[in-house]
Chain A
Amino acid sequence: MKAVSAERKVELVALREPAPAAGEERPALRRIGRLRWGLAAGGVLLVIVASAVFAPWIAPHDPLAVNIRHRLAVPAWMEGGTAAHFLGTDQVGRDLLSRMIFGGRVSLVVGVAAVLLSSSIGVLLGLGAGYFGRRTDWTIMTGVNVMLTFPFVLLALAVIAVLGPSLVNMIIVLGVAGWPIYARVVRAETMAIREREFVLAGRALGMSHLRIVFRQIVPNLTSAIVVIATLQVAQVIILESFLSFLGLGIQPPTPAWGNMLGEGRVYMLNSWWIATFPGLAIFVTTLMINLMGNALRDWLDPHMKL
């Protein structure tokens, strides 16, 4: 599997800031700079998450309330806009701001749930592969290769085709499709740690496999898992919005940023706000998650282990 190690090496190189050479200035300061961005991003993210959680209280209108007399109303700052509908209304008169806030709920729920699912599956399988080695390892890694070879998107599409679009199905699909990444990293780390002294000591003392795995190995993995999971949430959100955009995800009238973009697409040339704001929401949320994830990685694991 030599090609695997080459590719892994490249992944390490690619996604990390390379170690400073001797004589390079101020690496520590650079780290702190990154962390500052991460904190700021985290702050913004907190606001987004809070608005999603407290949606029923802070949304000015019912996101499902159809009012065709006020359809296609412009945002408040434009001519003809009213404060009642700060971001305007959509094609059947529903308040856009309220729909955006509730749409955030869907995106975040799907993101977090799917990532919880894929990390659980991935970590367990990665532990199994790394710890028990040989045949278990080979089976699981082949599974990883099979799934990694394949574009996430197509896999998700194919499964949704069969199961039908719904919130639960999306979480299942996105969750199950995302485990390989965790498995791969966890496996590598497990294999490294497995040979360390304290583990060997544990075996000598007669500790059961389960205890070794969960008491000694897993704690060393948490930072890696947290970082990957954070970055994955962003990817899942984008994927979910694409599926909803295609009509294969969350179905209207339930607001989701993706399906709002899809419905608003035909209005881009006149009532542009219907699609633009959800698009912006996806962009900002994803950006914040990426920034925070990068900063987390720098902070938790500055030594290229990931």
Chain B
Amino acid sequence: MRSYISRQLVQLVVVVLGISLLAFVILHVLGDPVLLLLPQNAGKEEFERYRHLLGLDRPLYVQYWKFLSGAVIGDFGKSWYADTPAFRLVIERMPPTIYLTLAGLLVALLIALPLGILAALKRHSWVDSLCTAVAVAGQAAPLFWLGIMLIIVFAVRLRMLPASGYGTWRHFLLPSFCLGAALAPITMRLVRSGVIEVMNMEFIKTARAKGVAEPMVVVKHAFRNACIPVITVLGLQFGQLLGGAIITETVFAWPGVATLTVESIRNQDFPVVQCAVILLALVIVVVNLAVDIVVAVIDPRIRTGA
């Protein structure tokens, strides 16, 4: 077990380093910060001076080292727009994003689990076909369109829920439903496949042969084993979930990291974009690691490399 975790940790570090390199390359090599900071008619000496000031005349690997060493202690530089440290801005906006993502995950599970199990049990029936059809259609609907529709129906027409913003539990309902509904189709198909596969396995047939009642078979044996692949993929889908959260946040004016990133991109506020990208990557990687460990604990086959 220990070697497994340490292997995963090494992988985590490598991946995060890789992402930081990617972020650095994108923002330093492809863009020219000095060009953006200075007015067009600034003389050549001004450009050189600023370049020196920001350390941009040093070789790239030196810059990268400086950036990395700063990042490790949480110093990502100051936002060019708001004059506060980028790290602080991003951290402040993290909690709403995390909460939204978790809420979306919850909604997705609430929708997908019952439907997936139902479809699996009634495989090949019209119920199954309907669920699958809805899932395929759901995967095709653009998330931001769904969000806009929800706001119009529930906030404006019915006046039941707030149209945007953050604060009370009511503010959570529409965005998390939107996000969850977007993730539910694929989750449902996962659950369905997982349950079907498990239902066909030997130990189920054994249980049936032993005379165990069908509901018990489903709940006790099939479901628990089907959880493994579902948890694994959901954990791995966390990155995609976050991607969905980005879109949801934009539509609902949710004060999270995603809206901050989009704004910063519009303002060309690179330190903030860089910081947000790396911290989000870190969160995703940590979650992936946690999921890996949980699955390894549950499923002994993986640990011992069966």
Complex contact flag A–B (Cβ < 8 Å): yes
13 A-B residue pairings within 8 Å (CB atoms): A3-B8, A10-B190, A13-B229, A14-B190, A146-B19, A149-B15, A149-B281, A150-B284, A163-B30, A247-B266, A248-B266, A291-B136, A294-B136
Q: Which chain A residues numbered 29 to 46 have a C-beta less than 8 Å away from chain B?
A: 30
How many residues of chain B have a CB within 8 Å of chain A?
A: 67
Residue contact B19 to A10, C-beta cutoff 8 Å: no
Chain B residues near A148 (CB-CB < 8 A):
239
Chain B residues near A3 (CB-CB < 8 A):
8, 292, 295-296, 302
Residue contact B140 to A234, C-beta cutoff 8 Å: yes
Q: A234-B140, A283-B141 are in contact. List 17 more A-B contacts (CB 8 A).
A: A6-B295, A13-B190, A13-B193, A13-B197, A14-B190, A25-B124, A142-B15, A150-B277, A153-B247, A154-B246, A155-B22, A157-B246, A158-B27, A261-B145, A282-B145, A290-B140, A291-B136
Stretch at the interface among A48-56, A57-65, A113-121, A238-246: A238-246
B152, CB-defined interface residue at 8 Å? yes
Interface of A is mostly: helix
**A148-B238 Cα distance, complex, nearest whole Å:** 11
Query: Nearest residue in A to B295 (C-beta to C-beta)?
Result: A6
Residue contact B140 to A283, C-beta cutoff 8 Å: yes
Residue contact A153 to B246, C-beta cutoff 8 Å: yes
Within the complex, which residue of B139, B142, B265 is in contact with A241, where a contact is CB–CB below 8 Å?
B142
Residue contact A6 to B246, C-beta cutoff 8 Å: no
A21, CB-defined interface residue at 8 Å? yes
A143, CB-defined interface residue at 8 Å? yes
Q: Which chain A residues numbered 159 to 178 have a C-beta less than 8 Å away from chain B?
A: 159-163
Chain B nearest Cβ from A151, distance in angstroms: 3
**A159-B270 Cα distance, complex, nearest whole Å:** 11
**A15-B296 Cα distance, complex, nearest whole Å:** 22
Within the complex, which residue of A15, A152, A242, A284 is in contact with B144, where a contact is CB–CB below 8 Å?
A242
Residue contact A154 to B148, C-beta cutoff 8 Å: no
Chain A nearest Cβ from B202, distance in angstroms: 11
B168, CB-defined interface residue at 8 Å? no
**A214-B66 Cα distance, complex, nearest whole Å:** 44
What mask results when residues 207 to 231 of chain A are scored 1 for a CB within 8 Å of chain B, else 0? 0000000000000000000000000
Residue contact A13 to B194, C-beta cutoff 8 Å: yes
**Residues of A with Cβ closer than 8 Å to B?**
2-3, 6-7, 9-11, 13-18, 21, 25, 30, 142-143, 145-155, 157-163, 234, 238, 241-242, 245-248, 261, 265, 268-269, 275, 279, 282-284, 286-287, 290-291, 294
B273, CB-defined interface residue at 8 Å? yes
Chain A residues near B239 (CB-CB < 8 A):
148-151
Chain B residues near A279 (CB-CB < 8 A):
142, 145
**Residues of B with Cβ closer than 8 Å to A?**
4, 8, 11, 14-15, 18-19, 22-23, 26-27, 30-31, 124, 136-137, 139-145, 148, 152, 156, 186, 189-190, 193-194, 196-197, 200, 229, 232-233, 236, 239-240, 242-243, 246-247, 250, 258, 261-262, 264-266, 268, 270, 273, 277, 280-281, 284-285, 288, 292, 295-296, 299, 302-303, 305
**A152-B277 Cα distance, complex, nearest whole Å:** 12
Query: Nearest residue in A to B250 (C-beta to C-beta)?
Result: A246
Chain B residues near A25 (CB-CB < 8 A):
124
Query: Nearest residue in A to B304 (C-beta to C-beta)?
Result: A2
Chain B residues near A287 (CB-CB < 8 A):
136-137, 140
Chain B residues near A154 (CB-CB < 8 A):
242-243, 246, 258, 261, 277, 280
Given contacts A149-B288, A282-B142, contact A14 B194 (CB under 8 A): yes
Chain A residues near B232 (CB-CB < 8 A):
6-7, 10
Residue contact A261 to B144, C-beta cutoff 8 Å: yes
Query: Nearest residue in B to A26 (C-beta to C-beta)?
Result: B124
Chain B residues near A155 (CB-CB < 8 A):
22
Chain B residues near A291 (CB-CB < 8 A):
136
Chain A residues near B145 (CB-CB < 8 A):
261, 279, 282-283
Chain A residues near B305 (CB-CB < 8 A):
2
**A283-B140 Cα distance, complex, nearest whole Å:** 6
**A287-B136 Cα distance, complex, nearest whole Å:** 7
Chain A nearest Cβ from B306, distance in angstroms: 9
Query: Nearest residue in B to A157 (C-beta to C-beta)?
Result: B265
Query: Nearest residue in A to B236 (C-beta to C-beta)?
Result: A7
Chain A nearest Cβ from B40, distance in angstroms: 16
Chain A residues near B302 (CB-CB < 8 A):
2-3, 6
Within the complex, which residue of A149, A234, A294 is in contact with B285, where a contact is CB–CB below 8 Å?
A149
**A142-B11 Cα distance, complex, nearest whole Å:** 8
10 closest A-B pairs by beta carbon, nearest first, are A151-B243, A146-B18, A161-B265, A287-B140, A286-B140, A162-B31, A21-B200, A10-B229, A279-B145, A153-B243
